[in-house]
Amino acid sequence: MFFAKLIFVCATIVLVSGSPQYGAPRTLDATELEAAKVRLQSSLTKLAAGDGPHYSIARIISSETQVVSGHLDTYVAELVDTQGGKKVCTVKVWSRSWGGHGYEVTFECPNEQAVTKKHN
Rounded distance, CA 106 to CA 14, Å?
37
> Where in the chain are the domains?
25-119
The tens-digit pLDDT sequence of the chain (120 residues) is: 666 655 655 555 555 555 566 677 888 888 888 888 888 888 888 888 888 889 999 999 999 988 888 889 999 999 998 999 999 999 999 988 776 778 899 999 999 999 999 888
Architecture of the 25-119 domain: Roll (3.10)
pTM of this structure: 0.76
